[in-house]
Structure formats: structure tokens, C-alpha cells
Amino acid sequence: RKEVEQDPGPFNVPEGATVAFNCTYSNSASQSFFWYRQDCRKEPKLLMSVYSSGNEDGRFTAQLNRASQYISLLIRDSKLSDSATYLCVVNSPGGGSYIPTFGRGTSLIVHP
């Protein structure tokens, strides 16, 4: 089983739709959690951190469920510009530090 798993998609949705992505992780000792966005042939960029209490940034809402070991990302009122790959990142214990482990990413395509 991979440490961090994501459905690769693609998720193909119309503008204005609400779409949700999930990401599961295997190490219960994982410490911090993030969603990154990666555009085609570009580097990943932080979208938002994920907190236990859940957090919202405009149209984006992130949730963490430690008991079930998954994080989620909800995008409301999708825009064409939201089309990208969304990577979940989990910081898990390594040899002596916490190591960032990325999922393979979920592709989102928003069409007119």
C-alpha cells in the first residue's frame, strides 16, 4: 500500500460545479498535511495547509480526519482557472525528521 493515495482522475466538471478530492495516508504518526496545486509543466505551489478543525480559503475548504486517516479538498463554484493537478502532501516520520510524501495528484478539468 502506498503511503499517500489519491484518485488520479481526471475529474471533468462544468464551470460552477462543486468537486471534492480525497487523499488517504497510511502512517498514523503523520504530523502535518497540505494541498498543493501543480499546473502543467510547472512546479507545485501551496494551495492550503490542512488543520484538524478544518479550514476554508474562499472557494476552497480542506478537512482532516485523523481517525480515518484521510484529508479532503472541496472546491465550490469551479472556475476554468482551477484546472490543474491537486497534490496532497503528508509529513510522515522518517529516520529522524518528518519527510514530505506526495500523492500522485488528482487531475481536475473545468470546462465551459
Partner 1 sequence: DTGVSQDPRHKITKRGQNVTFRCDPISEHNRLYWYRQTLGQGPEFLTYFQNEAQLEKSRLLSDRFSAERPKGSFSTLEIQRTEQGDSAMYLCATTGVGSTDTQYFGPGTRLTVL
Q: List the one residue from 15, 45, 65, 66 that touches partner 1 (CB under 8 A).
A: 45
Tell me: does residue 26 bind partner 1 (CB under 8 A). Answer: no
Distance CA 36, CA 26 (A): 19
Distance CA 35, CA 90 (A): 9
Residue among 19 and 48 whose Cβ is closer to partner 1? 48
Residue among 73 and 87 whose Cβ is closer to partner 1? 87
Beta bridge partners of 60: 57, 75
Q: Which residues contact 78 (CB under 8 A, 6 or more apart)?
A: 13, 14, 15, 16, 17, 18, 19, 108, 110
User: What is the footprint of partner 1 within residues 66-105 (CB under 8 A)?
Assistant: 87, 91, 94-105
Which ranges in the chain belong to alpha helices (H)?
none
Tell me the number of residues near partner 1 by CB under 8 A: 25
Q: List the one residue from 8, 10, 16, 54 that touches partner 1 (CB under 8 A).
A: 8
The strand pair at 19-25 and 70-75 is best described as antiparallel
Residue among 6 and 78 whose Cβ is closer to partner 1? 6
Tell me: does residue 32 bind partner 1 (CB under 8 A). Answer: yes
Tell me: does residue 55 bind partner 1 (CB under 8 A). Answer: no
CB 112, min distance to partner 1, A: 26
